[in-house]
């Protein structure tokens, strides 16, 4: 009986870890429609996505806490993660025939790189695959906000698993082979971002006020505006503007504007409702698009959208 009790306690202690492992792939692949329910919940696909997204966000969170850094480090490591996944693993940064590219396979392609796609996907993974899962985790488990979930040996094991997944995807799942020089430069950029995340000042991206200066509804609006504008610039502007540099600049300015808003108007305390509102706003375009996917014949996406709506209300209840 005592063994069963101890086993239950160990499982209970690991619940936060399991939650973090699942949030990132659930947002980055399932809710986004990149891996619809039938694909996402297939045994092979599920394990692979958790090994990629889940282990990736876990490593980012552990390193940011280990180095005693803040959101500046998380965002830089998030960008590194996005480049690792899309540049080093699936190689969509370079493959002109990547299944999700559409017009971006030719629009903005120069010197063997899909530049518009590369910029947009780096931002997407930074925000949706890394930052939002960590933000939701901090709302669900506030007592663990600045506490590590892994010891050093488990962190090393996570690196090994993550590296294995990257190599496996490169060798067996995506046959395209980019130019060796481009691939090497991509690795250098990843290393530079990791070093920058290690060196960045702790308060580089943090609230400048003790309490928020505006109500949560403004964070909901800004998060939603960012999400819808991000996807509009990515998918619509290339059809409207012939100069590929313009959507890349617009995406950068959009990120800068939202980041400055957060720094100026968010607070270091009494900000849980604002974080939740901002998260809901960021996820709103993906939830909306999930219903559109269902209308277009992608089975189960409306259930996914409804689940995330209920999940956000649950997080709000836990937060309050």
For position 320, what pLDDT does the model report? 76
Identify the DSSP state of 267.
B
10-residue averages of pLDDT along the chain (320 residues):
47 85 98 96 97 98 95 97 98 96 96 98 98 97 94 96 98 96 98 97 85 95 98 97 97 97 92 96 98 95 98 92
Per-residue burial over 186-217, b if 16 or more Cβ lie within 10 Å, else e, is beeebeebbeebeebeeeebebeeeebeeebe
Please check whether residue 232 is in contact with residue 108, taking contact to mean a CB–CB distance below 8 angstroms.
Answer: no
Q: Which pTM was predicted?
A: 0.95
Query: Are the C-beta atoms of residues 91 and 176 closer than 8 Å to each other?
Result: yes
Please report the DSSP string for 68-107 in residue order: T--HHHHHHHHHHHHHIIIIIIS-TTT-TT-TT-GGGGTT
pLDDT at residue 205, rounded to an integer: 84
The three-point CA angle 89-92-97 to 5° equals 130
């Amino acid at each position: 009986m005592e063994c069963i009790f101890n086993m239950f306690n160990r499982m209970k202690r690991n619940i936060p870890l399991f939650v973090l492992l699942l949030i990132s792939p659930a947002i980055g692949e399932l809710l986004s429609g990149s891996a619809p329910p039938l694909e996402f919940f297939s045994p092979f696909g599920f394990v692979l996505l958790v090994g990629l997204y889940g282990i990736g966000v876990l490593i980012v969170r552990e390193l940011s806490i280990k180095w005693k850094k803040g959101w500046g480090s998380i965002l830089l490591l998030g960008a590194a993660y996005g480049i690792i996944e899309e540049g080093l693993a699936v190689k969509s940064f370079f493959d002109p025939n990547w299944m999700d590219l559409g017009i971006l396979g030719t629009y903005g392609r120069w010197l063997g790189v899909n530049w518009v796609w590369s910029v947009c996907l780096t931002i997407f993974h930074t925000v949706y695959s890394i930052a939002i899962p960590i933000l939701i985790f901090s709302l669900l488990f506030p007592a663990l906000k600045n506490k590590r979930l892994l010891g050093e040996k488990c962190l090393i094991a996570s690196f090994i698993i993550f590296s294995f997944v990257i190599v496996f995807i490169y060798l067996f799942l995506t046959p395209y082979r980019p130019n060796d020089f481009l691939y090497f430069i991509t690795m250098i950029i990843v290393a530079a971002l990791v070093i920058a995340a290690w060196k960045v000042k702790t308060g580089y991206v943090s609230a400048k006020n003790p309490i928020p200066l505006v109500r949560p509804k403004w964070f909901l609006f800004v998060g939603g505006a960012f999400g819808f504008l991000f996807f509009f610039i990515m998918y619509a502007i290339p059809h409207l503007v012939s100069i590929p540099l313009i959507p890349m600049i617009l995406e950068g300015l959009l990120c800068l504007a939202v980041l400055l808003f957060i720094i100026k108007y968010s607070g270091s305390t009494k900000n849980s409702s604002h974080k939740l509102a901002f998260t809901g706003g960021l996820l709103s375009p993906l939830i909306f698009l999930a219903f559109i996917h269902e209308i277009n014949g992608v089975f189960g996406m409306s259930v996914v959208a409804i689940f995330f709506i209920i999940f956000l209300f649950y997080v709000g209840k836990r937060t309050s």
